[in-house]
């Protein structure tokens, strides 16, 4: 039974890998057909996908023509940058736990979304649910209401004022990207950034909001620690659980804010190394190598990353996992889907299984790292962004089959992992703003 679960997780891993494919907004239909073929090939050959990913843009390099920019050229006017002192920002009372609450319906006439796929050019192709024909817009008519306060709507000018002259790094996997793109869409009302990336690698982007001198970077690091795909054919990974990933380690020390997240990739079959020695594995099926399970690697990798981050002179926001459990009617590769059109009530579901274990490990490791940082007099501020419970209630917010055209032969892959943009994931940034105001 335990090994059945591991097998499921291993196959699930391939699913999440597939979902990283980035396709540019202007793809033609024949190009999409190519993507479909690529997806099918890569289900069997993940390394091919690894190469393919690198070539696709993650963020637009310029605002689309349809974007409503303020009049005048974007480089000649700073009239839309409001002085910090001119704004008062709605904030929640200190004693309010913004992560505990429920989703409540918003009356139709108040259900103005922050942006659409026409006003935001950086929506990841597979999360552009409107484009691919999602028929029900009901999932946009809910807002998160904490138990003891109201969560203010995202205030883009206030956010940009707050982060003026500062920098924010996202470290993690495709859900970190989902989060970043939501933030960029929310901010696009005020300003569109320039892509100032120093590398062609699409998994490492840096954008700059020049009127606010605000920088956002994203660092691809799905395991947070050093990882190497040692066996491309079998998808086996070597994880160096006590080595923070060099992909972000040195780079983030200059950032004012680092948003850290990871979970899904630990489902991949992997070998675990500590102090350079093989200590165990997850679903490697190698005789003599103890299967310590993905619960071990996820916890130790988090501990390692948090320990390394506890030395930076900035704020570290640890976002707890986005639920992995929203497939219904089958596993992801056996017809499982997420077709609900409304959120769960707070009493209709509860965290369980892998979600519960990952969440508990993340919270425990965060708590330990926070205490250690405080005891050592570190300048690092560690904040927990406890989004798992809120998102657990939103099985209706995923692309499901609206992450691609209906005629594409990828019907096995209903996406119940990532989030539609716009969608409930935008609440992460409403929460982030409140956390950074504190
Ligand atoms: C995270 O949020 C959930 C739901 O509100 C709650 O049960 C849990 O105790 C929270 N964890 C922490 C560490 O705040
Ligand atoms: C946005 O969604 C609409 C459907 O609501 C679709 O017709 C259009 O092609 C999409 N546009 C972009 C740029 O994705
Ligand atoms: C922009 O912000 C960076 C820090 O992120 C700072 O070093 C730089 O001096 C700022 N530039 C201007 C023009 O204010
Ligand atoms: C990563 O794995 C490949 C085999 O796929 C191997 O050739 C390479 O040496 C490994 N790299 C490191 C740094 O261990
Ligand atoms: C859930 O809560 C709602 C409102 O608080 C209540 O009406 C409903 O009966 C509850 N459902 C269950 C299954 O407890
Ligand atoms: C879709 O792809 C699968 C796997 O390659 C294949 O077995 C199936 O026949 C295809 N279906 C259609 C409608 O092309």
Residue-wise DSSP of 148-186 = TSPPPPP-HHHHHHHTTT-EEEEEESHHHHHHHHHHHHH
Mean pLDDT of 326-332: 80
Query: 85 CB under 6 A from ligand 5?
Result: no
Position in ligand 6 atom list of the atom nearest CA 409:
1
Q: Could you give the residue ranges of the DSSP H alpha helices within 107-253?
A: 156-162, 174-187
* pLDDT of 143 over the 80 cut: yes
pLDDT (0 to 100) of residue 124: 83
pLDDT (0 to 100) of residue 125: 78
Mean pLDDT of 108-121: 82
Higher pLDDT, 89 or 394: 394
Distance between CA atoms of 310 and 314, rounded to whole angstroms?
Answer: 9
pLDDT (0 to 100) of residue 318: 98
Q: Which of 36, 40, 409, 411 to mutate to test the pocket of ligand 6 (most atoms within 8 A of CB)?
A: 409
Q: Whose CA is nearest to atom 10 of ligand 5?
A: 347
Residue 208: active-site member:
no
Q: Which of 147-151, 232-236, 414-418 has the highest mean pLDDT?
A: 147-151
pLDDT (0 to 100) of residue 277: 97
User: What is the CB neighbour count within 10 angstroms for residue 241?
Assistant: 26
Distance between CA atoms of 389 and 359, rounded to whole angstroms?
Answer: 9
Query: 166 CB under 6 A from ligand 3?
Result: yes
Integer angstrom CA distances of residue 222 from 2, 45, 175, 305? 24, 19, 9, 12
Query: Helix, strand, coil shares of the chain as percentages rounded to 5?
Result: 35, 20, 50
Share of the chain above pLDDT 70, in %: 77
Check: CB of residue 186 under 8 Å from CB of residue 272: no
**Please, what is the average pLDDT of the chain?**
81
b/e 40-69 (16+ beta carbons within 10 angstroms → b) = eebbeebeebeebbeebebbbeebeeeeee
Tens-place pLDDT, residues 42-74: 222 222 122 223 233 445 433 433 333 333 333
Check: CB of residue 38 under 8 Å from CB of residue 413: no
* pLDDT of 336 over the 90 cut: no
DSSP 241: E
> How does residue 110 score in pLDDT terms, banded at 50, 70 and 90?
low
Share of the chain above pLDDT 90, in %: 61
C-alpha count within 13 angstroms, C-beta hemisphere, residue 291 = 15
Distance between CA atoms of 130 and 116, rounded to whole angstroms?
Answer: 9
Angle, CA 340 vertex, CA 335 and CA 342 arms, to 5° = 165
Distance between CA atoms of 207 and 209, rounded to whole angstroms?
Answer: 7
Query: 334 CB under 6 A from ligand 1?
Result: no
pLDDT (0 to 100) of residue 18: 41
Q: Find the range with the poorest average confidence among 80-84, 88-92, 123-127.
A: 80-84
Residue 174: active-site member:
yes
Mean pLDDT of 339-363: 93
Q: Find the range with the poorest average confidence among 62-76, 376-390, 419-433.
A: 62-76
pLDDT (0 to 100) of residue 34: 32
Distance between CA atoms of 48 and 50, rounded to whole angstroms?
Answer: 5
Q: Whose CA is nearest to atom 6 of ligand 3?
A: 165
Strand, helix or coil at 116? coil
The partner residues of 90 in beta bridges, in order of sequence, read none
The CA-based dihedral angle spanning residues 270, 276, 279, 282, taken in that order and rounded to the nearest 10 degrees: -10
What's the pTM value of the predicted model, to 2 decimals?
Answer: 0.83
Radius of gyration of the chain (CA): 21
Position in ligand 2 atom list of the atom nearest CA 116:
1
Distance between CA atoms of 40 and 425, rounded to whole angstroms?
Answer: 28
Q: How far is the CA of 254 from the centre of ligand 3 (A)?
A: 12
Report which secondary-structure segment, H or E, holds 374: helix 353-375
pLDDT (0 to 100) of residue 404: 72
pLDDT (0 to 100) of residue 47: 23
> How does residue 339 score in pLDDT terms, banded at 50, 70 and 90?
confident
C-alpha count within 13 angstroms, C-beta hemisphere, residue 227 = 22
Mean pLDDT of 136-164: 94
Of the candidates 126, 359, 404, 418, the residue annotated as catalytic is 418
Position in ligand 3 atom list of the atom nearest CA 166:
5
Mean pLDDT of 378-390: 96
* pLDDT of 412 over the 90 cut: no
Q: Find the range with the poorest average confidence among 37-46, 104-113, 208-217, 281-290.
A: 37-46
Number of H helices, E strands in the chain: 9, 13
Higher pLDDT, 329 or 299: 299
> How does residue 405 score in pLDDT terms, banded at 50, 70 and 90?
low
What angle, 0 to 180 degrees and rounded to 10, lies between the N-to-C axes of helices 2-18 and 29-44? 150
Ligand in closest contact with the CA of 214 = 3
CA terminus-to-terminus distance, the chain: 46
């Amino acid at each position: 039974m335990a090994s059945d679960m591991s097998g499921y997780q291993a196959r699930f891993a391939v699913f999440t890998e597939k979902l990283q494919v980035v396709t540019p907004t202007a793809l033609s239909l024949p190009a999409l057909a190519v993507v479909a073929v690529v997806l099918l090939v890569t289900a069997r050959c993940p390394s091919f996908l690894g190469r393919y990913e690198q070539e696709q843009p993650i963020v637009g390099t310029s605002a689309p023509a349809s974007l409503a920019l303020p009049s005048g050229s974007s480089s000649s006017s700073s009239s839309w940058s409001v002085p910090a002192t001119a704004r008062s920002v709605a904030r929640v009372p200190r004693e309010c736990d913004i992560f505990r609450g429920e989703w409540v319906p918003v009356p139709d006439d108040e259900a103005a979304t922050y942006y659409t796929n026409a006003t935001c050019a950086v929506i990841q192709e597979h999360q552009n649910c409107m484009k691919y024909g999602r028929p029900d817009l009901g999932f946009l008519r809910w807002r998160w209401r904490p138990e003891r306060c109201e969560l203010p709507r995202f205030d883009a000018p206030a956010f940009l004022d707050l982060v003026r002259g500062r920098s924010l790094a996202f470290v993690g996997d495709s859900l970190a990207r989902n989060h970043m793109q939501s933030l960029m869409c929310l901010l696009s009302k005020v300003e569109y950034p320039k892509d100032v990336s120093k590398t062609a690698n699409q998994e490492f982007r840096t954008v700059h909001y020049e009127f606010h001198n605000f920088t956002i970077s994203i660092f691809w690091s799905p395991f947070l620690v050093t990882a190497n795909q040692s066996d491309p054919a079998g998808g086996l990974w070597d994880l160096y659980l006590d080595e923070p990933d060099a992909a972000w380690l040195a780079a983030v020390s200059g950032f004012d804010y680092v948003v850290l997240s990871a979970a899904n990739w630990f489902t991949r079959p992997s070998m675990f190394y500590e102090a350079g020695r093989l200590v165990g594995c997850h679903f490697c099926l190698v005789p003599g190598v103890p299967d310590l399970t993905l619960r071990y690697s996820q916890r130790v990798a988090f501990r390692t990353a948090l320990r390394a981050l506890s030395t930076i002179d900035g704020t570290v926001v640890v976002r707890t996992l986005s639920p992995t459990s929203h497939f219904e009617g089958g596993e992801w590769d056996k017809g499982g889907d997420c077709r609900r059109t409304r959120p769960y009530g707070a009493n209709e579901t509860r965290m369980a299984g892998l979600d519960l274990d990952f969440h508990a490990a993340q919270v425990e490791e965060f708590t330990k790292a926070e205490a250690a940082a405080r005891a050592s007099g570190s300048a690092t501020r560690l904040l927990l962004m406890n989004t798992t419970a809120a998102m657990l209630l939103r099985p209706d917010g995923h692309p499901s089959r609206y992450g691609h055209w209906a005629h594409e032969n990828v019907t096995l892959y209903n996406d119940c992992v990532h989030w539609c943009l716009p969608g409930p994931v935008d609440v992460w940034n409403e929460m982030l703003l409140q956390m950074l105001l504190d």
